[in-house]
Structure 1
């Protein structure tokens, strides 16, 4: 009897060990996720999209070994709302962000049924009551880290570590000095977690190193790494030139070579991450994505698109997007599937086995089945809006068609034949014109049903 009991116990121990090892293998085999978000990155500012004067071999590798989008969009034409759209996976209007927080923002708090101007320039931020992608990934067993520009609230209550990130390092504001890490009014923006820290160095270098450290630390478990660079947003400060420090007067001083040097530092970081992922043996089990939060600005190249950041013309909202994941995605594929930033949230959650709250479903879609040719391409309806004192614009894209209202002028473009938006064809296509206006009106009506507690526009 004792012998039989020993045999049974040994078998149970062997089964337990096998199950444990299988569980460990399953955990390790779940894909890692890396998302590099460049700020104000022009549509044609890397080699994969046609740049001749900026060297981006590592970014170009993502295109060569993965999928390149031709028709990918930012959630908004400026920083904060796009970042909100990504972190929540939903239209940023559902939260209250329609414009970037900062000195130029028109900010309000709700008092009953009235909007009261917000007097504290740093008073608003993404409420912790809002479900976020990193919280979902945490719940799914992922280690989560964010390194870079947050721009969803300066106060501690809005810190990234309050929104599902295990680790954070970076600048909380929109455009701090790359060397002093202060806003031009003296507000200090650099944080390690919630702690203000004094660290010397060029911000892009600091972000690159911390991101690589995160990969090294968490290579044996599934992880989500978010790298939202401040570059190439103003101030235009290249590596190796800490002076002059940034002032309100010189913030926008720069030129194309300075911009190029800043982009190349971001590319260097992409190379560092790829090398570390490979060193840790997890490169091909990692979905690596790179995009921009809006169109390029002053020294960028958005060709062949028209206009730039802060507008709803294609140059303000159409952005580069590259995805590499050999386990699921083909190499060297170019897709014209229309995508948007918040699609990345739905995509990341899907591959991680994470799900949004039932009452707050994602507004984006999982792109992977389409890109992997497991599902037919989808015709999308995407909408944007700028509702500011100085600028009134609305636009909607459906299929190849784009409607734009710029102030009191309404136009229709066929983007397949007119990517530069030069030929208004609204009079030749009245049915399409009316249909897109109806789609936009329906989207605005849906957004109006959201009772937000604040409004930044």
Structure 2
């Protein structure tokens, strides 16, 4: 009798369990499932739903047609791991100290991967499968964030009735496919995966104007379109499975890319092509009330960036937003007010050091280049091994490039200002146009305000961040003026990249400042000044070679060698190439990549490359040095 009673009660017990797990969102609905479809290295300019008639992306286009398509969505970094550190933590890289690609510095224990908070609200959270979070203790961090994180992670393993948050990351549009792997690899792994009628031919698209419109370049750039087409096919298979599992009617779908296009001048570059991403949210009928934009075919120009994702998801799950999350809640009954501008950032990518801070209002993109002696397509090994980059360098040497195309290899100005509504390929810098002075001044002020308020910890050279990370976290270090006098440091940094006698005089004066980071920015700024200005300050620059702070001394040596051919500078640079501190070695070799006469350092660089304890980035910089002289082929592989 007891057995019969239990069988009769079983449906009621299951129903009660499902009801208990489907916690109300306060609007009379059970909480939604959430599916994230993330793709790699893709700019919206190359998708059909964003107006590209040459693209073949019917699955993504349909999702946009039935959902909300955002025209002003931006990554907070322009390369994978910094971007993903912001996505997973909800904290911007210049606060967390995670802006330098695959640096893996520690973060405070209280900062969790945001799926941790979804778990607390009863969600089953899965990641299939990319992490690359760029934080210290990443194994523990990842384990705490996810119920499942692997190539087999799936919503199927949740409890009956349990809501899920599932991430599926598609690699098929990654830079390895669009440019880095050999063409034969691309043919096997991309072209051969497409039906003949699906393939986009070499002459079936419009070439961006910053590339030479030659058959050789078109062959390489067609890879972008075919890689995205393969991605679209695979997304279609995932969405079909969602529907077959009878889950689509209960699932909100997010689709976006992790940063801009994986081609030279896109990924790793602090302009719109590096930051802007495609972004679509699809709502089932059941949850259309959560959308503040409406649903089905809506196009929104609301400004959003990756800082907004964590608080939005936690809010959707019914959780409380942790105090360290400062992004906006995008939807639901706790939606935040909109913003009129975003602050974005770009720092070191692999072996290519750089620092850019940007402001956008959706119409204009302002980028402040703090190291403008690095060109837009600076030496980064993962780029250099790509056939498209090699073709570009060949065309440059053979004088086949027009002024715009050639400018990618030249020193940058201190500032860019582009009208990204009307000049989507960013061909005309408006900084010197008086008609845009009001826009320029406003964005300069917005950037300064954010750097000071956020206490941008990446104003420190990476050498310093490495030292700090041995005893604390960059995030916590930056919070007090005693540790980090940000106003004084920013005043020095704000000069860097601007050229002229008056600027140089101020920088030289700062070389005697008691603060080592101020001195660092003074000498780094002098690196962008021309010979005629610098020869007036040769004494001060030579003295700076003896500075007690290594980043100052080595930067001064790089200037002294390039501008004055100083023999002591040669010896100091050789010594620092082999430094036990990898950040100093990388900084030194990067400086040597952009000096005119590399001859004195050939043997040193070869010896450093052969040292067993050198990390990948140092070895990669050595290979770029050798490759720039034609001493090696561009065949050093990269850890994907």
Give matches, 1:273-422, under 5 Å.
273-298=238-263, 307-326=265-284, 327-328=287-288, 329=291, 330-358=295-323, 360=324, 362-368=325-331, 377-386=338-347, 390-398=353-361, 400-406=363-369, 407=372, 408-421=413-426, 422=428
With the length of structure 1 as denominator, give the TM-score of the two structures: 0.68
Q: Which residue of 1 aligns with 2:148?
A: 167
Query: 1:239 offset after TM fit, Å?
Result: 8.0
- Once superposed, what is the RMSD of the aligned Cα atoms? 3.9
Greater fraction helix: 2
CA shift, 1:448, in A, is: 2.6
Alpha-carbon distance between aligned partners in 1 of 2:356 and 2:456, rounded to the nearest angstrom: 20
* 1:216 matched residue in structure 2: 156
Q: Could you tell which deviates more after superposition, 65-74 or 345-354?
A: 345-354
**What corresponds to 2:635 in structure 1?**
none
Match of 2:233 among 268, 271, 278: 268
Partner of 2:156: helix, strand, or coil? helix
> What CA distance in whole angstroms lies between the structure 1 residues aligned with 2:423 and 2:53?
24
The structure-2 alpha-carbon separation of the partners of 1:398 and 1:273, relative to structure 1 and needing over 3 Å to count, comes to same
CA 240–24 in structure 1, closer or farther in 2 if over 3 Å, else same: same
Structure with greater strand share of residues: 1
Check 1:240–1:220 CA distance in 2 against 1; reply closer, same or farther (3 A cut). Answer: farther
Give 1:369 deviation, angstroms. Answer: 5.3
Residue number in structure 1 paired with 2:99: 98
Q: How far apart are the structure 2 equivalents of 1:99 and 1:396?
A: 19
Partner of 2:454: 447
Deviation at 1:311, TM superposition (A): 1.3
Counterpart of 1:130 in structure 2 is: 111
CA contact (8 A) 2:72 2:276 kept: yes
Taking the aligned partners of 1:222 and 1:316, their CA distance within structure 2 comes to: 34
Question: How many angstroms apart in 1 are the aligned matches of 2:161 and 2:13?
Answer: 21
Match of 2:393 in 1: none
| Deviation (angstroms), 1:298 | 2.3
Contact 2:43 2:276 in 1 (8 A): no
Q: What's 2:139 paired with?
A: 158
CA distance, structure 2, for counterparts of residue 355 and residue 165 of structure 1:
18
Q: Could you give the per-residue CA deviations for residues 52-78 of structure 1, whole angstroms, max 9, x where no partner exists?
A: 454322222210110111111011111
Q: Which residue of 2 aligns with 1:142?
A: 123
Q: 1:367 to 1:84 in 2, by over 3 A?
A: same
List alignment gaps of at least 5 residues for structure 1. 1-14, 102-106, 108-122, 171-209, 243-253, 300-306
Deviations 1:93-116 (A, max 9, x none): 222111321xxxxx5xxxxxxxxx
**Alignment match, 2:58:** 57
Residue number in structure 1 paired with 2:442: 435
Find the structure with the greater CA-based Rg.
2
Distance 1:397 1:369, change over 3 A: farther
Structure 1 distance, partners of 2:171, 2:52, is: 21
Q: What residue ranges of structure 2 are gaps of 5+ in the alignment?
A: 1-11, 178-184, 191-218, 373-412, 458-464, 475-582, 588-640
Matched with 2:173 is: 232
Change (3 A) 1:21 1:216: closer
Deviation at 1:317, TM superposition (A): 0.5
Matched positions, count: 365
Q: Name which of structure 1's ranges 446-455 and 128-137 shifts more when overlaid on structure 2.
A: 446-455
TM-score (norm 2): 0.50
3-state SS of paired residue (1:438): helix
Residue 187 (structure 1) aligns with? none
Cα drift, residue 322 of structure 1? 0.9
Distance 1:139 1:404, change over 3 A: same
Structure 2 CA distance, aligned partners of 1:369 and 1:280? 26
Check whether the contact 2:22–2:163 (CA below 8 A) recurs between aligned residues.
no
Query: What's the offset of the Cα at 1:445?
Result: 1.8
Partner in structure 2 of residue 79 of structure 1: 80
Matched residue of 1:220: which SS?
coil
TM-aligned CA deviation for residue 37 of structure 1: 1.8
When residues 163 and 83 of structure 1 are mapped into structure 2, their CA distance, relative to the original with a 3 A threshold, is: farther
**1:424: which partner in 2?**
430
